[in-house]
A and B are shown apart, each in its own frame.
Chain A
Amino acid sequence: MASFVRFWGTRGSIPTPGHRTRVYGGNTSCVEVRVDDTLFVCDGGTGMRELGDSLLRRSNGPLQAHLLFSHTHWDHIQGFPFFLPAYKPSTTLHIYDVERDDDRIHRLLLGQMRSEYFPVTFSDLGSKIVSSDLHGGNKVIEGVTVSAFEQRHPGRSFAFSLAKAGRKIVYATDSELDLMVVNADEAERDPRAQRRLPEEAIRFMRDADLLVADGQYNDDDYRKGWGHARANTVVDMAMQAGAKQLAIFHHDPTQSDADVERKVQVARDRARAAGSNLVIFAAREGLELKVD
C-alpha cells in the first residue's frame, strides 16, 4: 500500500480564479491525504468543494474522513459549507482540535454557517460529525500517527505530520518561519547564508518524504508580521530537516503562474547552491503524488 497526496487548493489568503492562475490554481488551501485506506483532509479552503464532488464520484459506500484544520482563518475553512459529503447521512466526519479543552475548530465551523453567513446551519448537515482532539499533539488514527506542531502565525496555527510504516508526510502551512530564524542577524546581512531554524521545528519535519509548506513570499516581497514564510527560508528548513521533497504551498494571491514558477526556480537554485538534491516544486491544483 502507499500514500497519496492530492492538491485541491494551493492559494493563500483569498481565491484567485482567472487565466493568470490557471496552472497552479486559484482555490484556497485544501489537501487530500490518503494513507492506505484512511482519508485525511488538511484544511477546508475553497478547494474543499471540488474534493467533496470528487469523493462522491469515487465512493460507492459510506465515507469516513478525518479533517485536520491548521487554523480557522477564512482561507482554511471557507470550503466546508460546500463540501457535499457533509450533507449525506452515510458520511462520518471526524473534526480534530489539537488540545482537549479547545473547541475552536468546531465552534468556528459552526459559526460560519450561522444564517447571517450561510443558508444552511451546521446542525442541519446530514452527516455524522464527531468532534475530537489530538491529545495535545499526538494521536494514532487507524494506524497513522498524527502529530501537531504549533507554528508562528497570528491567531495560532498548527502543522501536522502523518506517519505510518516509515512514510512521513508533513503539512505545514501558515507559518512565518522568518520570525523563527536562529541566526537572524547573519541572515539579514547575507541573504545567501543558511537560515537556521529552531531544533524543535527541524525535529518535527525530520526526514519527511513529502513536506508541504507555506512559501508564500519571495525574499523581496516578504511582508513581515503577516504570518507567512519566504520560499527561500522554507528551502533552508527542508534541507536542515533532510526532507526528500518540498511542495511550496500557499501561493500569494498576487502571484501569477509565471511568478510562481520564478519563485520555485529561485528556490531550486538556492538548494543546488547548497549542494542539496532536495526535490522542489510548486504545489499545483489537480496534482497527485504517490508517496512510497
Chain B
Amino acid sequence: MSTDRSKPFDGSTLPLDVTRADQPAVLPSLQPNSRPHRLEQIGGPGAPRDFPLEFDEIVVGRSLQAHIAVESGSISRRHMCLRRDGPEYTFADLDSANGVFLNGVKAHAAVLREGDQLQLGDVVFRYHEGQ
C-alpha cells in the first residue's frame, strides 16, 4: 500500500485486510532474504510473542480491527500507529487514554531505534530493526 504524506498521520488510511495478532502476516513487499523490523511483546496479555512489521501503516490497540490487537483493558481501541518512512518506523500516539511511554518517558511520536521500549498501559513492546 502507498502512503499519502499530504494527509495527517492518524492511522485512518489503513487497508481493510488487516492482519490479526494471531494470524500470520501477508508479506506485501519484502525482498528475498530481508528480515523485517519487528515488535517483540515482552509484557502484558499474550507476551512473549513477535510481530513482524510488514505494512507501511500499522495500528496497535484493543480493537479486533487493529493490525496488532492485544486484549488488555489498559490500552485504547486504537492506541498507537506505526508508520514506515523509508527504512525507518515512526510511532505516534493516537490520542490514547493512557499514552505511550518510550523508554519510560511519555512521548507523542518518535523515530524508533533498535532496542526502544514502548509501553502502552500494561503492554510492553521492544522494537527491533530488521535488515
Binding site for B on A (CB under 8 A): 4, 6, 22-23, 57-58, 60, 245, 279, 281, 284-290
A289 touches B90 (CB 8 A): no
A22 touches B113 (CB 8 A): yes
The 4 closest A-B pairs by CB, nearest first: A286-B111, A288-B109, A290-B108, A287-B110
A288 touches B110 (CB 8 A): yes
Q: Which of B83-131 contact A (CB under 8 A)?
A: 90, 92-93, 102-111, 113
A287 touches B93 (CB 8 A): no
B107 touches A288 (CB 8 A): yes
Specify which of A4, A245, A285, A287 is in contact with B102 (CB 8 Å cutoff): A287
A290 touches B93 (CB 8 A): yes
**Nearest opposing residue in chain B for A292, CB measure:** B108
A–B pairs, 7, beta carbons within 8 Å: A6-B109, A281-B103, A286-B110, A286-B111, A287-B107, A287-B110, A289-B106
A57-B5, A286-B90, A290-B93 as given contacts; A281 in contact with B105, CB under 8 Å: yes
Interface size of B by CB at 8 A reads 17
B107: chain A residues within 8 A (beta carbon): 287-289
Specify which of A4, A279, A285, A286 is in contact with B105 (CB 8 Å cutoff): A279
B90: chain A residues within 8 A (beta carbon): 286
A287: chain B residues within 8 A (beta carbon): 102, 107, 109-111
Bound-state CA distance A290–B94 (Å) is: 12
A22: chain B residues within 8 A (beta carbon): 113
A6: chain B residues within 8 A (beta carbon): 109
Specify which of B5, B93, B113 is in contact with A23 (CB 8 Å cutoff): B113
B108 touches A4 (CB 8 A): yes
B6 touches A57 (CB 8 A): yes
Q: How many A-B residue pairs have CB under 8 A?
A: 34
Interface on chain B toward A: helix, strand, loop, or mixed SS? Answer: strand
Bound-state CA distance A288–B100 (Å) is: 12
CB distance from A17 to the nearest CB of B (A): 15
Bound-state CA distance A288–B104 (Å) is: 14
B113: chain A residues within 8 A (beta carbon): 22-23
A279-B105, A290-B93 as given contacts; A285 in contact with B6, CB under 8 Å: no
B105: chain A residues within 8 A (beta carbon): 245, 279, 281
B8: chain A residues within 8 A (beta carbon): 58
CB distance from B95 to the nearest CB of A (A): 9
A289 touches B5 (CB 8 A): no
Bound-state CA distance A289–B90 (Å) is: 13
B104: chain A residues within 8 A (beta carbon): 281
A285: chain B residues within 8 A (beta carbon): 111
Bound-state CA distance A58–B6 (Å) is: 6
Query: Please, what's the 1-or-0 string for B59-100, where 1 marks a CB less than 8 Å from any CB in chain A?
Result: 000000000000000000000000000000010110000000
Known: A60-B6, A285-B111, A286-B110. 19 other contacts (CB 8 A): A4-B108, A6-B109, A22-B113, A23-B113, A57-B6, A58-B8, A281-B103, A281-B104, A281-B105, A286-B90, A287-B102, A287-B107, A287-B109, A287-B110, A288-B110, A289-B106, A289-B108, A290-B93, A290-B106
CB distance from B109 to the nearest CB of A (A): 4
Bound-state CA distance A279–B111 (Å) is: 20
B6: chain A residues within 8 A (beta carbon): 57, 60
A286: chain B residues within 8 A (beta carbon): 90, 110-111
**Nearest opposing residue in chain A for B93, CB measure:** A290
Bound-state CA distance A177–B54 (Å) is: 47
Bound-state CA distance A21–B119 (Å) is: 24
Bound-state CA distance A100–B113 (Å) is: 44
